């Protein structure tokens, strides 16, 4: 690990200004992903701004009937909140499908959104990786790609976004609240938060330099049956090959989002009109522009089968 300087922030705006002021600075909260990457020298921040003292650890009801989740709410606390379990069950199920209990006790809501890909070529510093070192190439293209993306990928990168929580947030139409170094706040629709890779896979979100996540807001509950199915190589401590988050209403209509297949949680709202006609009708539209490799083409059929299983469970 390379040497770095450290400070503890006293307010969100101060934290944002501190990161913006110093090139190479990063925010530190739970650190469950960042510290691992620092040990591997994939992340080499010059300065860490610790935000753990900020009062961003509350879950509050909004005037609109939704919930406002502080950026520092731990994953365990969020998954176990009775309001979340009752009205946003898909979020609880997605969170507990990820990581271990120990990690969920430490990981924060904002940190979960910002976790980086688990592409093996990103983690192997002997391999080219446009995400780790822009312009160096992508070892995964033409390499081992079973775990990697099938849609939304580019000629520069085929990595996936690895998280579970964000798939449920995308399904629920969450917004990400931020504050910038000048103290200005904004609300980013979750569907616009994670970027597609394009020619700049090292740019992973729509956050500007120094912009700090302060909360995630959920709209009013939408009812229905909430389900999250995650297919992976091991029963636990593994990232999704394919995951499906769904809210299905009694008449068969609903919403669906997919994880493990793209640079961001993948949802095509127009395809949801086909849900009463079955899984194949939905995934034919969701993955119409897929670009799978020979190694991961199986994910397309796996996504259809997983959604079909979710639909069967919803009717039971």
Condensed to tens digits (0 to 9), the pLDDT of residues 231-275 reads 999 888 899 999 999 999 999 999 999 999 999 999 999 999 999
Element (H, E) at 103: helix 101-106
169: tokens are 């947030």
- Convert 39-61 to b/e letters by CB count within 10 Å (16 or more is b): eeebbebebbbebeebebeebee
Compute the Cα dihedral for 128, 131, 136, 142 and give only its sign: positive
Q: What integer best gives the mean pLDDT of the chain?
A: 97
pTM of the model: 0.97
pLDDT bin (cut points 50, 70, 90) of residue 31 is very high
pLDDT of residue 236: 81
pLDDT bin (cut points 50, 70, 90) of residue 109 is very high
By DSSP bridging, strand 185-189 and strand 225-231 are unpaired
**Percent of the chain predicted with pLDDT > 90:** 97
Tell me the pLDDT tens digit for each residue of 37-61: 999 999 999 999 999 999 999 999 9
Residue 185 pLDDT > 80, yes or no?
A: yes
**Percent of the chain predicted with pLDDT > 70:** 100
pLDDT of residue 1: 77
Residue 218 to residue 174: CA distance in whole angstroms: 5
The whole-number average pLDDT for the span 182-191 is: 96
Number of Cα atoms under 13 Å in the Cβ half of residue 239: 19
Tell me the pLDDT tens digit for each residue of 288-313: 999 999 999 999 999 999 999 999 99
pLDDT bin (cut points 50, 70, 90) of residue 219 is very high
Strand partners, 187: 177
> What interhelical angle do 298-315 and 279-286 show, nearest 10?
140
pLDDT of residue 237: 83
């Amino acid at each position: 690990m390379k040497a770095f300087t450290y400070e503890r922030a006293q307010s969100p705006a101060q934290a944002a200004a501190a990161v913006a002021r110093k090139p190479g600075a990063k925010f530190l909260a739970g650190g469950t992903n960042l510290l691992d990457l620092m040990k591997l020298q994939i992340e080499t921040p010059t300065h860490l701004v610790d935000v753990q003292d900020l009062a961003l650890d509350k879950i509050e009801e909004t005037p609109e009937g939704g919930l406002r989740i502080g950026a520092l709410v731990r994953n365990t606390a969020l998954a176990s909140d009775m309001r979340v379990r009752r009205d946003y069950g898909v979020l609880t199920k997605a969170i507990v499908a990820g990581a271990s209990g120990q990690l969920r006790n430490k990981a924060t809501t904002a940190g979960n959104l910002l976790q980086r890909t688990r592409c093996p070529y990103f983690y192997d510093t002997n391999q080219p990786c446009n995400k780790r070192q822009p312009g160096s190439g992508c070892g995964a293209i033409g390499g081992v790609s079973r775990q990697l993306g099938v849609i939304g990928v580019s000629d520069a990168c085929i990595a996936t976004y690895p998280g579970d929580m964000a798939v449920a947030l995308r399904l629920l139409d969450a917004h990400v609240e931020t504050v910038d170094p000048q103290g200005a706040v904004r609300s980013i629709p979750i569907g616009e938060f994670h970027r597609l890779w394009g020619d700049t896979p090292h740019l992973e979100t729509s956050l500007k330099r120094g912009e700090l996540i302060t909360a995630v807001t959920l709209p009013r509950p939408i009812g229905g049956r909430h389900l999250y199915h995650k297919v992976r190589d091991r029963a636990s401590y593994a990232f999704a090959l394919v995951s499906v988050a769904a809210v299905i209403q009694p008449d068969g209509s609903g919403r669906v989002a997919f994880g493990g297949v793209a640079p961001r949680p993948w949802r095509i709202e127009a395809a949801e009109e086909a849900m009463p006609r079955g899984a194949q009708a939905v995934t034919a539209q969701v993955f119409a522009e897929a670009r799978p490799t020979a190694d991961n083409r199986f994910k397309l059929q796996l996504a259809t089968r997983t959604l079909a299983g979710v639909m069967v469970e919803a009717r039971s």
